[in-house]
Structure 1
Amino acid sequence: MPPRTAITGRSQEPRRRFAEELRLLRAEKGDSLRKLGDVLGWDASLFGKMESGKTLGSPEVVEALAQYYGTGNLLLTLWELAVGDPTQFKEQYRRYMALEAEAMSLWHYAVGVLPGLLQTEEYAREVLAAGGIKGAELTQQVEARIGRRDLLLGEDPPQFRTILSETVLRTPLRDERAWRVQLQHLAEAVEQPTLTLQVLPHGPRLHSLAATDVMFLRLPDGRTVAYIESAVHGELVEASEAVERLQRAYDAVRDLALSPAESRKVIGQMLEEAPCAPST
């Protein structure tokens, strides 16, 4: 087995070093790319591209690999060096992703944008581009969003409830075809037995989550933590009193929302009204 290249923050080839480590770790474990894909739930071709240096993968994929290989922070550190911006993967969000991966159930409220777990690739790309992200970074961020959807597609997915402000559904993409694809994706997603979607219509009354996205995670040890996010800030909330206050606010929003059945009808109606792709 060839020796590993030294890890330094001054490395001129951090991307190559990251790919090298992935190859060595898999070789030491004796896994094929296919087996790695089967175990972790991503397509084997993604790991092949990461090992060849064609893509860096998303933070979620790297976190899963780190847990599988038992490398601690090694892979995450190499990924950050390869990306070139350590602030992209802050400790707090890293901890949130680790908790999300083991959560028994998730409850979510969206103010203006669909949750990443339900976004299509086209939707994720337009939303991220609108925030000023472009080039290779945009590609990486889109991969991260799409990679998170796998959480709901495994053999034993967590229960997921999301409440969407009507604003979310009344803010279409610029590309009409892409917007129709996104609505179709929602219509199919709500048929999953582990997913519950409700729409909060305009105008019932003001509430304390009017400007805050929130995700609650119920963990195997019985605890519930929350991740709140505004346009410029995200925060992991673990203190029980603070989580309880957020849960009460969430319950009040759920009381104002349409039932799951009524919400499915709303999405179906919007899909019927959405322009069809032009014939060729």
Structure 2
Amino acid sequence: MAPRTNPSERQRRLGAELRKLRLRARMSSDTAATLLEGERSRISYIESGRLSVSRNRLHLLLREYGCPPGPYFDELMSMGQASGKGWWDEFDDTIGPAARDLAELESRSTVLRTHEPMFIPGVLQTEDYARAVLSETERDPQLVDRYVQFRLERQRILATDSPVTYRAVIHEAALHVRVGGPEVMRAQLLRLMEASRLPNVTVQVFPFKSGVYSAYSQSFAIFGGVAPELDTVYLEHPRNSLFLRDGDQLDEYAKMFEWLCELALPPVDPDSVPEAHTSRDSLSLIQHIMYAL
């Protein structure tokens, strides 16, 4: 099998983890290649995500690298056997590799934490809001339609039989930006409150009054699963989105998110009665902005 030229994020991550484990075991590429009865270049291709490894050989490598049984071991095995195919394949004619990687990562995660300073998070957007946002950068109506469909399909992670645990901190600025006009924004803010009724969704608003904080200027998402070692930070950029895997970077963003939660208003609770709001919370702020539109 010829090495692939454009490995997916899952394939690159598996390769990076195998390299990390091999180096931790102080095993050379030549020795690892001997285990697979192959050339040294084979290990290099596997570790760069350019070459797949069979289930039996992956199990052998993990065992010889000293990876103990447990969630991390099992998840690496699962990553190795995953086909990478999913509903996102229907959009191959439209979306790029980073968007496909994002959709696959969302589908494999059990916990998603996200911070948005200027826009409502994609998985909470209404169709009209998404269309208004995407129309700012794409003038072809047919492409906009496809992008909107893709974004709406991503929202299925919130309402499957095993939905992702979703936590969002949204800066107050995002609630004031009149994307698509007042009616679109009213419907979008209502959608925020409706989504918060889901038991797996938590929405907090970071108010202007909390002052300046370094995370204001950057949106990010932290994807987590059964093995914390495989958590991923996603940073969206117009040209090259980034997937961060380094442990120190993961810790930094995890701490940043928890600090944002501490500074943000209490979560939205759409089922609480008005008299229960004795102090300012995320719901009362969203309602205030919605009524003022």
| Pairwise same-fold verdict (TM > 0.5) | yes
Measure how far apart 1:268 and its partner are: 2.2
Match of 1:229 in 2: 236
SS in 2 for 1:272: helix
Tell me which of 209, 212, 217 is aligned to 2:215.
209
Alignment of 1:219 with 2:202, yes or no, is no
1:1-280 map, 5 Å: 80=92, 82-83=93-94, 88-90=95-97, 92-222=98-228, 223-230=230-237, 233-261=240-268, 262-274=281-293
Q: 1:29-50: CA deviations, max 9, x gaps?
A: xxxxxxxxxxxxxxxxxxxxxx
SS in 1 for 2:173: helix
Name the count of aligned residue pairs.
Answer: 200
The answer as to whether partners of 2:231 and 2:250 remain within 8 angstroms in 1 is yes
Matched residues in 2 for 1:202 and 1:170: separation? 11
Change over 3 Å in CA distance of 1:206–1:231 after alignment to 2: farther
- Structure of larger gyration radius: 2
Matched residues in 2 for 1:100 and 1:112: separation? 21
Match of 2:64 in 1: none
Measure how far apart 1:156 and its partner are: 1.9
5+ residue gaps, structure 2, are 1-81, 269-280
What value does the CA root-mean-square deviation take over the aligned residues? 2.6
Measure how far apart 1:206 and its partner are: 2.6
Change over 3 Å in CA distance of 1:151–1:79 after alignment to 2: closer
Matched residues in 1 for 2:84 and 2:191: separation? 36
Measure how far apart 1:204 and its partner are: 2.5
The answer as to whether partners of 2:196 and 2:202 remain within 8 angstroms in 1 is yes
The answer as to whether partners of 2:91 and 2:150 remain within 8 angstroms in 1 is no
Q: Which runs of 4+ in 1 moved over 4 A?
A: 70-79, 230-233
Match of 1:6 in 2: none
SS in 1 for 2:180: coil
Change over 3 Å in CA distance of 1:78–1:175 after alignment to 2: closer
The answer as to whether partners of 2:84 and 2:104 remain within 8 angstroms in 1 is no
Measure how far apart 1:109 and its partner are: 0.2
The answer as to whether partners of 1:216 and 1:225 remain within 8 angstroms in 2 is yes
Kindly provide the amino acid, as one letter, of the partner of residue 258 in structure 1.
L
5+ residue gaps, structure 1, are 1-69, 275-280
Matched residues in 1 for 2:89 and 2:159: separation? 28
Measure how far apart 1:251 and its partner are: 2.1
Matched residues in 2 for 1:107 and 1:160: separation? 6
Q: 1:132-151: CA deviations, max 9, x gaps?
A: 34221111100011111111
Measure how far apart 1:177 and its partner are: 2.0
Matched residues in 2 for 1:74 and 1:130: separation? 28
Kindly provide the amino acid, as one letter, of the partner of residue 118 in structure 1.
L
Change over 3 Å in CA distance of 1:78–1:102 after alignment to 2: closer
The answer as to whether partners of 1:110 and 1:165 remain within 8 angstroms in 2 is yes
Matched residues in 1 for 2:88 and 2:285: separation? 42
Change over 3 Å in CA distance of 1:182–1:110 after alignment to 2: same
The percentage of counterpart residues that share the same residue type is 22
TM-score, normalized by length of structure 1? 0.64
